């Protein structure tokens, strides 16, 4: 089974949307109240959960026509988005160790995709 470009793009969109979901979950955790009532009234948490669900829809659409062993590692590219969003929205420091870790993730995805034949 070959993996079409459309499946790859759907997985990349899923990864991007999921990374925004993580941002909203963090925002919700930072601004939320303790307990179940706080969870039910926190629109940031609700947005994060909704974005994760939406990313799952794109993921299912993507893997339905491609090879899971090729597509699933691409989800890890969300770590790149997470680093960018953490810097932009939370002013987190990007360290050399973080960049090296991301480089290893990207190298792994490339290696898996090179071995698809």
Q: What is the pLDDT of residues 49-64, one digit of tens each?
A: 999 999 999 999 999 9
Predicted pLDDT of residue 112: 77
pLDDT value, residue 116: 57
* CA-CA-CA-CA dihedral for 12, 110, 76, 86, to nearest 10: -90
Domain span at residue 36 reads 5-114
Tens of pLDDT along 9-25?
999 999 999 999 999 99
Domain count of the fold of the chain: 1
For tokens 């955790």, what's the residue? 29
CB under 8 Å to 47, separation ≥6 — which residues? 21, 24, 28
Q: What's the confidence (pLDDT) of residue 21?
A: 94
DSSP E strand stretches across the chain: none
Give me the pLDDT at residue 34, please. Answer: 61
First-to-last CA distance in the chain?
Answer: 10
Q: What integer pLDDT is reported at residue 115 of this predicted model? A: 64
- What pLDDT is recorded for position 92? 95
Which stretches of the chain score pLDDT less than 50?
A: none
Residues 6+ apart with CB under 8 A from 110: none
pTM: 0.83
């Amino acid at each position: 089974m070959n993996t079409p470009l459309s499946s790859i793009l759907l997985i990349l969109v899923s990864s991007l949307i999921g990374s925004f979901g993580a941002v909203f979950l963090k925002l919700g955790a930072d601004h939320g109240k303790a307990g179940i009532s706080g969870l039910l009234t926190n629109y940031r948490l609700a947005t994060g959960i909704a974005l994760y669900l939406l990313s799952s829809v794109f993921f299912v659409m993507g893997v339905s026509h491609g090879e899971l062993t090729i597509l699933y590692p691409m989800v890890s590219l969300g770590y790149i988005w997470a680093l960018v969003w953490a810097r932009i929205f939370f002013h987190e420091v990007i360290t050399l160790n973080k960049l090296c870790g991301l480089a290893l993730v990207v190298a792994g995805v490339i290696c898996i995709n090179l071995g698809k034949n």
